[in-house]
Structure 1
């Protein structure tokens, strides 16, 4: 999907708009292991391919749920750039659900829609319906409402 570049005034008018989908990103065991090391969540279902092959109902390792949530900002920046802002912060995430696992290895992408735009005089917040899709899987790996606050 092509990057949409907007001014703050244009971005404030995005409510209800589908932004599209990103390119696919490979989820590798190396990335999952790095996330496990960074967070201290070293459960074998994420980090031990041999044991997962024997004991997991998924028959291989799966990515952490929070790993998929952590991918959202970088994916989102592939879809939308707002020029002339002083800064952007990740403001929060609501209604986060993980209906299906992300098997390792696999490829994932973000589908994003602007559900709401909250305006103030010095900032605006985009409420993004974020869905992480897994290539070849009908059920999404994650659904969330992610909030990005832009300061103008």
Structure 2
């Protein structure tokens, strides 16, 4: 699937109620997990201690922080859509988010997005997106949720 390019509210509105696509797969590495732990000061063993995880974790491996997977949203969303002609984009809201399945180290994840609604707030586009982070070869997604971005288009 090719990346969509959106340059206006009207162009974005064409996708209201529709799936916009999905990203490429991204591999979650132990190094990425370790760096996230350092950045967030969350050093729980289930994320970092590979030997202990093999024997004590129900997943038999370290797992990514749930918030690490959420933090990938902008990166993966940017693989699906290029929003151009912007003054600014604002992360506005996470209305709901449910972690459904742990993401084990070396798993591949991708983002699938549907534009639920789009509103014009006096020239600011309020886009509500249904997001699903899929795990390759796993029927259960890592998470599902509804997020909102505000897009301030130039014209």
What TM-score do you get using the length of structure 2 for normalisation? 0.94
1:26-65 correspondence to structure 2 within 5 Å: 26-65=27-66
Aligned to 1:85: 86
1:72 aligns with 2:73: yes
Aligned equivalent of 1:3: 3
Aligned length: 152
Q: Out of 5-14 and 126-135, give the one that drifted further.
A: 5-14
Q: Distance in 2 between matches of 1:20 and 1:38?
A: 30
Aligned-residue CA RMSD (Å): 1.0
How much has 1:2 moved relative to structure 2? Answer: 1.4
* 4+ residue segments displaced more than 4 Å: none
Cα separation, 2, equivalents of 1:44 and 1:33: 11
State the match for 1:101 in structure 2.
102
Q: Secondary structure at the match of 1:52?
A: helix
Deviation at 1:92, TM superposition (A): 1.8
SS class of match (1:77): helix
Residue 11 of structure 2 aligns to a residue whose secondary structure is: helix
- The unaligned stretches of length 5 or more in structure 1 are none
**Secondary structure of 1:76 counterpart:** helix
8 Å CA contact 1:14–1:117 kept in 2: the answer is no
